[in-house]
Chains A and B, each alone.
Chain A
Amino acid sequence: MGNREIKIALTGNPNVGKTTLFNALTGSRQHVGNWPGVTVEKKSGRVSYKGYDIEVIDLPGTYSLTAYSIDEIVARDFIIEEKPDIVIQVVDASNLERNLYLTTQLMELGSQLLIVLNMCDIAEDRGDRLYLDKMEELLATPVIKTVATQKKGICDLLDKVIEQKELEQHHGHEIGYGSEIEEKILEIEKVLSEDEGRDRRYPLRWLSIRLLEGDSNVRAKVAKSPVYENVMAIIESIDQEEYEAEIADKRYLAINTILPQMCTRANETLTKSDMVDRVLTNKYLGIPIFLALMWGAFELTFAFATPFMDMIDIAMSWISEQVSSSLRPDWLASLVGDGIIGGVGAVLVFVPNIFILFFLLSLLEGSGYLARAAFIMDKLMYKIGMHGKSFIPMLMGFGCNVPAIMAARSIEDEKDRLITILVVPFVSCGARLPIYILFAGTFFGRQAGTVIFAMYILGILIAILSAKLLRETVIKGKPAPFIMELPPYRVPTLSTSLIHMWDNGFMYIKKAGTIILVGVVIIWALASFPWGVEYGSEDSYVGILGHAVEPLLEPLGFDWKISVALIFGLVAKEIVVASLGVLYGAGDKSEALSERLMADPGITTLSSLSLMAFSLLYMPCVATVGVIRKETGSWKWTIFAVIYGIAVAWTMAFIIFQGGSLLGY
């Protein structure tokens, strides 16, 4: 069956719908979003079609084969080094000129190329007309039309893939760069061909052009060649920047020559997307509108979910009562009732909020607004020493910090990327939400939505201020210029939003059944032992542990129970609420956790605010620390991130509690 296998790679500019096509081809549910840089790692899936086993690789988006960022390097190296049978370039039909630049480079690479024209619906709605036959003829490459969001054209594409595989030949066109450059290309090709041991995966013409363009990655690959010195002698004899510009000009000249034959563009019209952009990116109104929309989202997350939370809470209390009264022996009743149901139940209560939050975040991503948010914040971000693109990982962090830190891979400049990685953990993720809802709901009543919104804004402010501090001290330098493509606005599909909501919401439920369950059993054990002590009392192990750290946290308004919850929250933030569920589990089972917290004289409105701020800012979770280590490749920066986070959290909570106390709150 070896020859019945086909390996295809999906490549193309960022945000052209590669992952949507990948999902349509393989039936996967990879995360998609309407902004450039959603995919930062290559992903693989399979599809069986007409007796062929087709492996599909979804690559991160790239504008050219001159890779600048980590995700672009991943894409380029795969195409060159893994040599897939067919490279499918997904092209945004509504933006052909820019997309064809990569096509010219892929053709030079000698790839078995197949072009997929995606988003044809947007182009046609705008009034553009596309001539596929002419396009195939001019590019000497098969072209297939798809609308991946509606799964249109998928079978045609797979048929064409099989057809191309059976052809096993490729006759791509090459671009002529003018006599002077062509002469140099031939010179370098000749020198390179003298090296018999060269890596034959790289076409000589392609290598020569890349070297003339000053591609440092390609230069490093040739560096070990015995002919390297001779190649460099040629490169050093030219004005490399001028050659690079000239090569790009020639490519665009070729594109602009063939483009009018491939399509006719509608004249500029004022589309709805343009209208919305005009207002949402307005220099005066953009930021207030962004803040208002975020406030609306958190108001909805809290207020609409409240009755559903209450329903779960009532169910949990009932189950807990039943278990406590019917299970024997008493320790087992306590383990299940106070420990597991009290702890895990306290976390499950917030499932409705988590689902709503992820649904709203999905709408934000799918609509294309995320890229605008980065755009309107760029001026401010640049002033404080951050890259505008950093705002996207920060907003992604509202869901989970782990993918948000990984999303920083799309930032080209290493210093900008490092700063982004170090400050993203300050952005409030979904796991912190239960803490805010519990305490804001308990102590701030109808203003809870606004308090929660304030926590998210505080997280962003601290991230931005920290970036400025880092930029002026340990990571000195100026941020790179911000260039980002603004995708057209789209109405997010309900199915995509629901899938996104379910996938993330389910992950939360899964966590409740795994790591949080383990955590609450440990806390219950610590609260129950040594034998004979009152459950959850100061004499239990948990009480001893709490009292040991209490002096450090007392100035922030936290008693020993809160201190214990915060310690266990280092593993995962959801455990803070779960721990409180266990520690406040004793007593009347019909009472909700919020009522028990309200009845505790050790917790006041001010200390609850201080606790929310501390929970927001101190180390997010073990998984985030792991990804910081992976993405920075440095223990030094990882330890710095943890210590810095704890220090900032302590200081902020101290200011809130002590400042508030001084003001008489």
Chain B
Amino acid sequence: MDIKGENVEAQADTRIPVAFSVVSGSLYVLLGLLQLLAGMNRIFIGPDILVPLADLLLVPADIIGSFVLILIGTVFIYGVIEMRSGIYEGVSYAYVGILLSLIFAIIYLFVSTGNMLEAYILRNEDFAEWTPLSDLKPGIYLAIFSLFAFIRWKDMFEPAKAKGINNDQRNT
């Protein structure tokens, strides 16, 4: 159900979700591409030659992880396209983009916790050089924006009650 038209557009202000989605989506896509490049570089060129900025931005050479970042970014951007076309439901993409980024950040944090146990509790040789920074990656630090948005904008994702899309006066 696409809601278009004067009433909804007048009631539903999508400027903030659009702005957030543009910034978040772009960051996810750009860092995803950088991660993809780093992954391809590692396979085809070797680990000795580094991709510029990859080290600075803590981008690992992980191809599958790069697809996840690009996917989250695409979800945000898709929402921008819909919202810019006047489809209020495009805000759904911002909401799901936030959820996906948080889900994957939680997954990465659990994986990192596992690595920490290997390094500090089990003293596994493979993790001798592991530090918490070793697992810090875009999938984790970009989710801080999503977490902020989720907390700060929670009400915004229930626009029906706040913006009057629900016209049932008996219940309001």
Chain A interfacial positions (CB closer than 8 Å to B): 127, 129, 264-272, 274-276, 278-280, 282, 284-285, 288-289, 292-293, 295-296, 299-300, 303-308, 310-311, 314, 450, 453
Contact = CB atoms under 8 A, between A and B. Distances in A.
A275 B115 CA distance: 35
Contact of A279 (B92, B107, B165): B92
A268 B99 CA distance: 23
Interface string B38-52: 000000000000000
Contacts of A305: 114
A303 B160 contact: no
A304 B110 CA distance: 6
A279 B103 contact: no
4 closest A-B pairs by beta carbon, nearest first, are A269-B160, A275-B92, A307-B117, A279-B96
B100 A278 contact: no
Nearest to B63: A450
Contacts of B124: 307, 310
Contacts of B168: 127, 264-267
Counting chain B residues whose Cβ lies within 8 A of the other chain, the interface size class is: 35 or more
B19 interface: no
A270 B93 contact: no
Contacts, number: 110
Interface of B is mostly: helix
B166 interface: yes
Contacts of B158: 272
B166 A282 contact: no
Given A275-B157, A285-B74, A310 B92 contact: no
Nearest to B114: A304
A580 B114 CA distance: 26
Interface string B4-43: 0000000000000000000000000000000000000000
Contacts of B110: 300, 303-304
B145 interface: no
Given A279-B92, A279-B93, A304-B110, 7 more contacts: A267-B165, A267-B166, A267-B167, A269-B160, A279-B75, A310-B118, A453-B64
Contact of A289 (B71, B117, B170): B71
Nearest to A296: B107
9 contacts: A127-B166, A266-B168, A270-B89, A270-B160, A274-B92, A278-B92, A285-B74, A310-B124, A450-B64
Contact of A266 (B92, B99, B171): B171
B145 to A, nearest CB: 18
Residue among A271, A300, A304, A453 facing the most chain B CB atoms (10 A cut-off): A304
A598 to B, nearest CB: 13
